[in-house]
Chains A and B, each alone.
Chain A
Amino acid sequence: MDKILRINMGAVGGPEIKTEGLGDYAGLGGRAMTSAIVAKEVPPLCHPLGEDNKLVIAPGLLSGSVAAMSGRISVGCKSPLTGGIKEANSGGQPSQMLGRLGYAAIILEGKPKAKTLYKIFINKDGVDIKEDNSLCMLGNYDLVDKMKAEYGEKVHCISIGPAGEMKMSAASIAFTDMEQRPTRHAGRGGVGAVMGAKGVKVIVIDDAGTAARTPADPEKFKAANKEWVAGLRKHPVTGEALPTYGTNVLTNVINEAGAYPTRNFSIGQYEGASKISGESQADLENARGGEGSATHGCHRGCVIRCSGTFYDKNGRFLTKQVEYETMWAHGGNCGIDDIDAIAQIDRLDDDFGIDTIEMGATIAVAMEGGVAKFGDAEAAINLVKEVGQGTPLGRILGNGAAVTGQVFGVERVPVVKKQSMPAYDPRAVMGIGVTYATTPMGADHTAGYAVTANIMGVGGSVDPLKPEGQMELARNLQIATAILTDSTGMCLFIAFAILDQPDTFQALVDLINAFTGESFTGDDLMAQGKAILKCERDFNFRAGFTAKDDRLPEYFKKEPLAPHNVTFQVSDEDLDEVYNF
């Protein structure tokens, strides 16, 4: 990946395409790339939907190689939801394809003067951009079908649905999966609205005639990759739990812990949890059968295969296997225990191009505000349809939980930096509340996900039972995640295997070094992770964020959560220490 594709959508005479070298951005991938570009090139005080914001799409550092699990792609910009820097990432095929085509990043900048929609086509021969207003308000599924008919059966797409075109703050960007379905999304923070503001409906990618990227040391790379795959396959999480049940395996466990946010974070256990658990979902999928039903990868090179394919009662494809966060957001958080109804909502979210976490949290807030009753699946489906249709109510909901809470006078709005919390109540699991509060991204469960200094053997040892240890754990988790997964293109779920198996962690380091030709140590990687977080924090500071934005909503400190009757007790002073490095 030795080039950056830069398209000025606001150039006089129409979009201007430039291909340039990596320059200052050499050696970066994924989140490291998107955040570096946004921090350097986007004025922090600009309007997120204005001409000065930029949308950056960057494959992970190892994407396009044959390294297992390396197919994640990052999207960065100033977020219309949070007002701060944003990196959202996704699986799907485009990351590997852009890597093979040699693109380390695509930057969309400027803004078209006229209300025009564009499609971009990228292949080994170059880049083409055309106006195509016939794509206006198409759902992602119809859009991809149209692109396949036009560009051939082997292309893949990066696209927005109607929500992105309407510049909603919950709008996502879709990435097609191995079956060319728009089921994988960079969901968080309204990145789809920024793509919509640039007037780009779809980027079509054809990597025919390209080859996998070549490692600096092919022999060492091959050996490290073999170790890497073996390590992932032998671990009970990556080799058994995830392939068998998918991410939704968490439902029963989080519910048992009393940390399962139910009916808009009002209690920590949901009586209908087992009906929508990963175990029940896998049973249903296995019973209905069909190709890739309960175990399936989201991109080439995935060996964990935590996804699946959801077929309806009549055996017709409906959506991908519903992920834990989605099953929770539209399920327990709204008091809904019907898997088929939740799968239908997931399909609508993907088609309209909406973040499932934000949408589920928003509907729950709306339910608390009296718009619908908790547990009413049909009402929830209709509310999502309103978003896709852009009705006045849909426009409110499509702009997320914070806006919806304000409109309907709801006090219990579970957001940080206006972004909805995911599926873990921070009163029961306070450590994740520290991450929700302090990550530059807004409430985000993936921000502190990987391994700590304890495992990497750098930066000293932490006593996790002391409060200061908790702060340090949250900090180190955020640092390690920024570099080890978000920037390499590695899937988040590698975390357990490298956590438990030192030889597998070493295989990952060897893989990175053999590919890049570098000799990174654990210290080097942690330093890179710190640099990413510092540049993101600095952007937010320049955008007007202060320590007051690193807080959970007040009610988490006041309202005890059943069944444990606990509140969030981490002090503001401790939260302010997380970024003291």
Chain B
Amino acid sequence: MEKIDGIPIARLSLIVKAELVPIFFQLLGQGFKVNAQIGCSVKELLCNQLGIHEDYLTERIQTIFLNAKVVDDVKSANVNEGSILALSGAMPGLVGAILRSGGIYAGMRSQISHKENKLSPQGQTAPITLKLLNLIVKELGPIFLQRGICIKGQTLQEFTKRYAEELSAGCLSGDINGKPLDIVNLQGVDWGADQVLLQVSSEQAT
């Protein structure tokens, strides 16, 4: 069984109709845990560890938050244990422009701009939280869902309850820790306070 924070986690794998995939995006927006090698820059994490292409980072990910502060330089902002990293596309409005990473209005939000932070020892593996928002979740969401995202059992429980009807209609098959799952029973699974590794693949991707 996989571990995060040293705690074994359950694995839920689902194969769903392609049109069902977007309803899982809100879980990615709320944040999910990723085991990462900490003590590196945001750029190293995103490009070298998570496999995001450098051009995509430059052109599509227009606003980056590290612990709720706007990152202007992905090379100098460091990822440490417990970091929360949120990725967004370009946003409308004056404040959207102000929040843009490295934008010309950066001075208008200097209070919440990310400043240099201490670097954890390199090479350690520790969980961080990743949030994918708006256009980024639309584009990268299916990839992360296929790889698997680690979320709280309670969050999953609320989600399966809220979307019981949609999941029942759109899930083709599933298993928990390798054991086949009857989808009609998904809503009734008690995940408790455990972390769950959720993997979602669309029928087209399988």
CB pair B134–A256 under 8 Å, yes or no, is: no
List the A side residues contacting B187 at CB < 8 Å: none
Q: For the complex, give the distance between the alpha carbons of A474 and B105 in Å.
A: 9
* A242 within 8 A of partner (CB): yes
A259-B112, A465-B107, A496-B90 given as contacts; is B29 within 8 A of A274 (CB)? yes
The secondary structure that dominates the B interface is helix
Q: For B68, what are the chain A residues with a Cβ–Cβ distance below 8 Å?
A: 256-258, 269, 563-564
Any chain A CB within 8 A of the CB of B111? yes
Instruction: Bits for B59-96, please: 1 = Cβ < 8 Å to A, else 0.
Output: 01011010011100000000000000010111111111
Residue B26 CB within 8 A of the other chain: yes
Q: Which of A165-173, A277-285, A357-365 contacts B (4 or more CB under 8 A)?
A: A277-285
Contact residues of A: prevailing secondary structure: helix
CB-CB under 8 A from B3, the residues of chain A are none
Bound form: Cα–Cα A3–B12 in Å: 69
Which residue from chain B places its CB closest to the CB of A245 in the assembled complex?
Answer: B134
Q: Is the Cβ of A430 less than 8 Å from the Cβ of B60?
A: no
Contact B137 A279 (CB under 8 A): yes
Name B139's closest neighbour in chain A (CB-CB). Answer: A240
B134-A249 in contact (CB<8A) = yes
Does A534 sit within 8 A of B, measured CB to CB? no
The answer to whether B106 and A465 have CB atoms under 8 Å apart is yes
Smallest Cβ-Cβ distance to A468: which chain B residue? B107
Interface residues of B in 99-156 (CB under 8 A from A): 99, 104-112, 131, 133-135, 137-138
Taking a contact as CB atoms under 8 Å apart, the answer to whether A429 and B135 are in contact is: no
Task: Provide the residues of chain B in CB contact with A452, threshold 8 Å.
Answer: 104
- B184 contacts chain A at the CB level, 8 A cutoff: no
> Is the CB–CB distance between A474 and B112 below 8 Å?
no
Shortest distance between the CB of B136 and any CB in chain A (Å):
10
Given A236-B60, A465-B107, A466-B107, answer yes or no on A247-B93 (Cβ-Cβ < 8 Å). Answer: yes
Contact B26 A236 (CB under 8 A): no
- A469-514: which residues lie under 8 A (CB-CB) from chain B? 469-470, 473-474, 477, 492-493, 495-496, 499
Query: Which residues of A sit under 8 angstroms from B57, Cβ to Cβ?
Result: none
Q: B12-56, CB under 8 A of A: which get 1 and which 0? A: 000000000011011001100000000000000000000000000
B98 at interface, CB cutoff 8 A: yes
CA distance A247 to B30 in the complex (A): 19
| Cα(A499)–Cα(B99), bound, Å | 14
Partner of B104 from the list A259, A446, A464, A566 (CB cut-off 8 Å) is: A464
Q: Does B176 contact A (CB under 8 A)?
A: no
A123 at the interface (CB under 8 A from B): no
CA distance A453 to B68 in the complex (A): 30
Inter-chain CA distance A253–B88, complex, in Å, is 7
Given the known A-B contacts A274-B30, A278-B134, are A254 and B107 also in contact in the complex, defined by CB atoms under 8 Å? no
Chain A interface residues toward B at CB < 8 A:
235-238, 240-242, 244-245, 247, 249-250, 252-254, 256-259, 269, 274, 277-280, 283, 286-287, 306, 324, 424, 427-432, 434-435, 445-446, 448-449, 452, 454-455, 463-466, 469-470, 473-474, 477, 492-493, 495-496, 499, 563-564, 566, 569
Given contacts A236-B60, A252-B88, A274-B30, 9 further A-B contacts (CB under 8 A): A247-B92, A250-B91, A253-B134, A258-B68, A278-B134, A429-B95, A430-B110, A465-B107, A477-B94
The contact sample of 9 A-B pairs, CB cut-off 8 A, is A253-B63, A253-B88, A258-B68, A269-B68, A279-B26, A429-B95, A432-B108, A466-B107, A495-B92
In the A-B complex, the 10 residue pairs with the smallest Cβ-Cβ separation, listed nearest first, are A431-B108, A464-B107, A566-B111, A236-B90, A237-B90, A429-B109, A465-B107, A256-B86, A258-B68, A449-B94
